């Protein structure tokens, strides 16, 4: 029986996201636990942490819901209008792409209402100049999750060599 599988979000015990994902993988259940890149903090790297604290995503059919609720470390599904919330494939793809493309990602919680657009929407792209580096910031609304994801990359600016005009004239002449 080949049922239609959809992505859902699971609440997990705090700090147990990776363990829950490992347990689900051992049971051959497709899952995704997006991890933020480790950050450098005063001479040492921190371990990557779950981008969405206490959430793991699973791609399952309706018949697997009861099995997932019994999995170790799972508290419950994220619900919307009385049913496990469906996370659109495009939102999972966007999260994966953001983690590949941006070295700094933040989340902002938003209120989601029944009339909120149900598609991931790019809200704003801006280029900003901050001191000695160029920053490009992209914001995408993830309505199924109730977050705006903000990605930015800092690219180092090539150093500009400034020489005294008299030195340049002396070398040329």
pLDDT digits over 51-98, tens only?
999 999 999 999 999 999 999 999 999 998 888 999 999 999 989 988
d(CA 57, CA 70): 15
Average pLDDT rounded to a whole number, residues 138-155: 82
pLDDT tens per residue across span 103-118: 788 899 988 765 555 5
Q: Hey, what CATH topology would domain 1-87 get?
A: Alpha-Beta Plaits (3.30.70)
Burial (0-12, 13-18, 19+ Cβ within 10 Å), 57: buried
Beta strands in 110-158 (DSSP E): 121-130, 133-142, 147-156
Q: DSSP H helical segments within 1-124, as ranges?
A: 17-26, 65-69, 89-101
Q: What is the pLDDT of residue 166?
A: 45
User: Looking at the whole model, is its pTM more than 0.85?
Assistant: no
| Numbered ranges of CATH 3.30.70.940 in the chain | 1-87
């Amino acid at each position: 029986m080949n049922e239609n599988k959809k992505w859902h979000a699971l609440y997990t015990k705090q700090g147990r996201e990776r363990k829950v994902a490992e347990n689900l993988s051992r049971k051959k259940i497709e899952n995704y636990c997006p991890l933020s890149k480790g950050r450098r903090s005063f001479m040492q790297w921190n371990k990557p942490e779950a981008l969405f604290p206490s959430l793991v995503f699973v791609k399952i059919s309706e018949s697997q819901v009861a099995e997932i609720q019994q999995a170790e470390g799972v508290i419950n599904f994220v619900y919307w209008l009385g049913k496990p919330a469906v996370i659109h494939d495009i939102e999972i793809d966007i999260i994966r792409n953001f983690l590949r493309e941006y070295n700094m990602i933040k989340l902002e919680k938003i209120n989601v209402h029944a009339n909120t657009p149900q598609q991931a929407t790019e809200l704003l792209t801006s280029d900003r100049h901050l001191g000695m580096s160029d920053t490009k910031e992209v914001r995408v609304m993830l309505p199924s999750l109730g977050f705006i994801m903000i990605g930015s990359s800092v690219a180092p600016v090539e150093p500009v060599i400034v020489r005294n005009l008299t030195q340049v004239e002396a070398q040329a002449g």
